[in-house]
């Protein structure tokens, strides 16, 4: 990887979306035109869409507004710089927190512009191009065993859906058990990593990847129907996620999932719709009836019988 500070400076120059000549960029950074050329290749390898206009210079295909700790701090009522890491280029924000778990306080956050080893669920990777989406992780310590976190990913989904609705005005929904949806397509995914540390406490890193402005030149890097939210202020988004997730996790610790069931059912993308649930080799069909107090999905099957299921992945029956 080339010098990251220089890379970020070039991105900052280009971030206005205007055309900038190689000479002009070189003069600002104290680099030759050929050195700028090499950096431009690196920028492309990070997923940044950049046009070269012969003899005139370089231009981003869309503006990038970089994450900025100061802008996040002024918009977040509980911001604490000791619990905040903005690492522009990282392997994975979840992994960063997991590697430091012994030293962290609850509500420590890591955000990045680019992940070179972004992780999804079930061993999948999470495509993480530079500056266009959001990659966000928060650490939380639960002072009790695994039962204390039953339904955790569901309440995280609710908190994120509410923030995204507030900022975009769009009808974002939740998909059991770990996704956010818009127009029946995946908008964001949640990855919860749990670790036993010393004592009885349960240590959790909650990771969220949200599609905002991603442009794909190779659509096959994502193997399902996806959608992006569009241009929203990412600094404001981070600020609101920090406060909303912290408030939600405190409430969840005190009152459990039961307090969130109605909210889930109101935001549920699949409620009252025919779905199929795949658990291992088994496929189960039914009409979704929301969730129960254990976070299980309730499926109405033949003769109106409603059964709870934990685990597996759901999809719309119509998508068969």
100 is an interface residue for ligand BTN by CB under 6 A: no
- Say how many C-beta atoms besides its own lie within 10 A of residue 29's C-beta: 17
- Report the greatest alpha carbon distance in the chain: 75
Euclidean distance between CA atoms 132 and 114, whole angstroms: 9
From the CB of 127, what's the least distance to ligand BTN, in Å? Answer: 9
Q: Which residue in 121, 162, 165, 170 is the catalytic one?
A: 121
The dihedral of CA 85, 86, 90, 91: what is its sign?
positive
Among 36, 43, 60, 92, the residue binding ligand BTN under the rule CB under 6 A is 92
Task: From 100-108, 130-138, 237-245, 275-283, give the range in contact with ligand BTN by CB under 6 A.
Answer: 130-138
Euclidean distance between CA atoms 7 and 114, whole angstroms: 12
Among 44, 71, 121, 185, the residue binding ligand BTN under the rule CB under 6 A is 121
Among 72, 191, 204, 237, the residue binding ligand BTN under the rule CB under 6 A is 191
SS (H, E, C) 159-209: HHHHHHHHHHCCCCEEECCCEEEECCEEEEEEEEEEEECCCCCEEEEEEEE
From the CB of 113, what's the least distance to ligand BTN, in Å? Answer: 12
From the CB of 220, what's the least distance to ligand BTN, in Å? Answer: 17
Measured at the alpha carbon of residue 138, what is the angle toward residues 135 and 142, in degrees to the nearest 5?
Answer: 155
From the CB of 21, what's the least distance to ligand BTN, in Å? Answer: 35
Report the interface residues with ligand BTN, using CB under 6 A.
Answer: 92-94, 115, 118-121, 124, 126, 135-137, 179, 189-191, 207-209
Which of the residues are catalytic?
Answer: 121, 186, 317
């Amino acid at each position: 990887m080339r010098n990251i500070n220089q890379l970020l400076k070039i991105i900052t120059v280009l971030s206005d979306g205007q055309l900038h000549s190689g000479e002009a960029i070189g003069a600002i950074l104290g680099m030759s035109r050929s050195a700028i050329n090499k950096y431009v290749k690196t920028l492309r390898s990070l997923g940044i869409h950049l046009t070269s206009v012969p003899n005139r210079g370089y231009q981003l295909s869309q503006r990038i507004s970089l994450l900025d700790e100061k802008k996040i701090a002024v918009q977040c009522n509980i911001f604490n710089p000791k619990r905040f890491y903005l690492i522009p280029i990282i392997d994975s924000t979840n992994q960063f927190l997991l590697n430091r778990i012994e030293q962290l306080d609850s509500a420590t956050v890591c955000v990045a512009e680019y992940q070179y080893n972004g992780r999804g669920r079930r061993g999948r990777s999470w495509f993480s191009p530079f500056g266009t989406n959001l990659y966000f992780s928060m650490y939380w310590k639960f002072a009790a065993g695994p039962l204390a976190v039953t339904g955790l990913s569901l309440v995280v989904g609710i908190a994120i859906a509410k923030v995204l609705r507030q900022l975009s005005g769009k009808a974002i929904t939740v998909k059991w058990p770990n996704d956010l949806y818009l127009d029946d397509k995946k908008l964001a995914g949640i990855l919860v990593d749990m670790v036993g540390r010393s004592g009885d406490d349960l240590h959790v890193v909650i990771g969220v990847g949200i599609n905002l402005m991603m442009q794909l030149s190779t659509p096959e890097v994502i193997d399902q129907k996806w959608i992006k939210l569009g241009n929203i202020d990412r600094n404001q988004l981070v600020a609101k996620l920090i406060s909303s997730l912290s408030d939600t996790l405190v409430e969840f610790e005190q009152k459990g999932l039961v307090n969130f069931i109605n909210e889930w059912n109101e935001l549920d993308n699949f409620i009252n719709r025919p779905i199929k649930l795949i658990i291992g080799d088994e496929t189960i069909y039914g009409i979704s009836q929301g969730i129960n107090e254990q976070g299980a999905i309730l499926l109405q099957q033949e003769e109106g019988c409603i059964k709870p299921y934990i685990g597996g992945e759901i999809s719309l029956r119509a998508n068969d």
